[in-house]
């Protein structure tokens, strides 16, 4: 290939789990598409960027966040502008965890999905107004099984699945078992789409019971939370048998860090026990704005590495794996020719602030930090 491209990005390390690339190389981009990537790529380009010792990855994918551009009081109470809080920090695609429901879906598309540079997809809330209500989103009067199913079925390109957080803060006085059955019913009515499921945090319903109801392709988020019904067996300190059986059936496990759902003790024990997460996500929302150090996906990836996860697996868990989960493996999460030209470059900062989990426990610093973001062939930040 000798034809000039628009942008050539070189690095001493390209990483693509889907293609099995991990070494020096370059990515050539024309318009919004990758035309070539790998160790032998060197073509004329209108713009050339040499990243030196940074690692060049496909654009990061956050499988659990709260993107919402609607004004405060009109949209999700958790929402943040994805082009401000996600994209400059390396996330080119984010899945909303229930920020909209059937009644405000059209408004969400017009205000957030269409105008945002960040690619946004939705796990639709079972509640009619998503997270726009000031109180619990899933009080009995607000659950809309048929409306959620019809909305999801009508817009499969943008709605990936159904979101359900069954904690008391979201369900209020509603029965968590009933809501889980309703979420499954909605997903089946919509054609068998998956659930993004936050399990019950209280001891009134066991994790074992909840996992038994889930289906292959469903995702359990907050997987390293230290709530009483966490993934470890208290008696042995090992991963519960029900959790292993769930993974064997095809149920996936996601981080969903947030403000209360990542405990180094749980993460380290699970990873040491051979149970790393399938995907790494932030549950980034309005309370994280301006946090120091900034809560974002590169720092969350770094925390998993600090907890013992292999670096390559951690990169894959924020690129190739979530791309496959979203059904977009040919479009994102890869540097393959023909894929969308979404790129993120990270550089290791050994002097970064220590990593702190949501219990206050700390681990030594050293953190991957974004130095270049390309979205659809256009440089967002460098």
Residues 285 and 274 reside in one and the same domain: yes
pLDDT tens, residue by residue, 323-376: 999 999 999 999 999 999 999 999 999 999 999 999 999 999 899 999 999 999
pLDDT tens, residue by residue, 84-123: 999 999 999 999 999 999 999 999 999 999 999 999 999 9
Residues 68 and 53 reside in one and the same domain: no
In a domain, 259, yes or no: yes
Residues 198 and 268 reside in one and the same domain: yes
Q: Strands, E, within the chain: which ranges?
A: 5-16, 21-30, 33-38, 45-50, 55-58, 60-65, 91-97, 119-125, 159-165, 195-198, 219-221, 252-253, 343-349, 355-356, 362-363, 367-375, 378-381
Residue 137: predicted pLDDT: 81
Torsion sign (Cα): 148, 153, 155, 156: positive
In a domain, 283, yes or no: yes
Please report, for the domain that includes residue 11, its CATH number. Answer: 2.30.40.10
Please report, for the domain that includes residue 285, its CATH number. Answer: 3.20.20.140
| pTM of the shown model | 0.98
pLDDT < 70: residue spans in the chain = 1, 382
In a domain, 333, yes or no: no
Residue 30: predicted pLDDT: 98
Residues 24 and 112 reside in one and the same domain: no
pLDDT tens, residue by residue, 302-314: 999 999 999 999 9
* Residue 134 lies in domain: 60-325
In a domain, 376, yes or no: yes
Q: What angle do CA 324, 303, 230 make, to 5 degrees?
A: 75
Looking at residue 111, what DSSP letter applies? I
Distance between terminal CA atoms of the chain?
27
In a domain, 217, yes or no: yes
Residues 38 and 82 reside in one and the same domain: no
H/E stretch holding 165: strand 159-165
In a domain, 127, yes or no: yes
Residues 185 and 54 reside in one and the same domain: no
Residues 298 and 319 reside in one and the same domain: yes
| Total domains, the chain | 2
Residues 212 and 195 reside in one and the same domain: yes
Q: Which residues pair with 80 in a beta bridge?
A: 67
In a domain, 88, yes or no: yes
Residues 53 and 86 reside in one and the same domain: no
Residues 154 and 261 reside in one and the same domain: yes
Residue 1: predicted pLDDT: 62
Phi and psi at 182, nearest 5°, equal: -65, -40
Residues 132 and 252 reside in one and the same domain: yes
Residues 25 and 151 reside in one and the same domain: no
In a domain, 51, yes or no: yes
Residue 179: predicted pLDDT: 93
């Amino acid at each position: 290939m000798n034809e000039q491209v628009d942008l050539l990005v070189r690095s001493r390390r390209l990483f693509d789990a889907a293609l099995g690339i991990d070494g020096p190389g370059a990515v050539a981009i024309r318009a919004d598409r990758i035309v070539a990537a790998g160790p032998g790529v060197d073509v004329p380009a209108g713009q050339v960027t040499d990243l030196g010792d940074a690692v060049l990855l496909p654009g990061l994918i956050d499988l659990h966040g709260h993107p919402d551009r609607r004004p405060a009081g009109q949209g999700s109470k958790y929402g943040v502008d994805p082009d401000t809080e996600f994209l400059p920090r390396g996330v080119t695609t984010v899945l909303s965890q229930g920020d909209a429901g059937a009644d405000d879906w059209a408004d969400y598309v017009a205000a957030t999905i269409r105008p945002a540079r960040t690619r946004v997809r939705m796990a639709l809330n079972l509640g009619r107004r998503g997270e726009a209500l000031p109180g619990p989103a899933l009080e009995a009067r607000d659950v809309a099984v048929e409306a959620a199913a019809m909305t999801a079925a009508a817009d499969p390109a943008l709605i990936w699945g159904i979101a359900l957080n069954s904690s008391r803060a979201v369900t209020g006085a509603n029965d968590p078992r009933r809501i889980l059955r309703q979420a499954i019913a909605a997903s089946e009515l919509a054609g068998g789409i998956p659930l993004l499921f936050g399990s019950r945090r209280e001891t009134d319903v066991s994790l074992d019971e909840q996992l038994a109801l889930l289906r292959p392709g469903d995702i359990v988020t907050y997987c390293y939370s230290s709530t009483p019904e966490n993934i470890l067996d208290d008696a042995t300190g090992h991963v519960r048998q029900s959790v292993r059986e769930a993974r064997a059936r095809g149920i996936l496990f996601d981080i969903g860090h947030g403000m209360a759902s990542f405990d180094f003790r749980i993460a380290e024990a699970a990873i040491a026990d051979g149970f790393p997460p399938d995907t790494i996500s932030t549950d980034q929302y309005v309370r994280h704005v301006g946090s120091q150090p900034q809560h974002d996906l590169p720092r969350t990836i770094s925390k998993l590495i600090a907890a013992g996860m292999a670096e390559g697996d951690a990169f894959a868990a924020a690129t190739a794996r979530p791309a496959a989960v979203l059904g977009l493996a040919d479009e994102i999460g890869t540097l393959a020719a023909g894929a969308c030209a979404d790129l993120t470059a990270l550089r290791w900062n050994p002097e970064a602030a220590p990593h702190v989990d949501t219990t206050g426990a700390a681990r030594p610093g050293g953190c991957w930090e974004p130095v270049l973001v390309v979205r659809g062939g256009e440089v967002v930040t460098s």
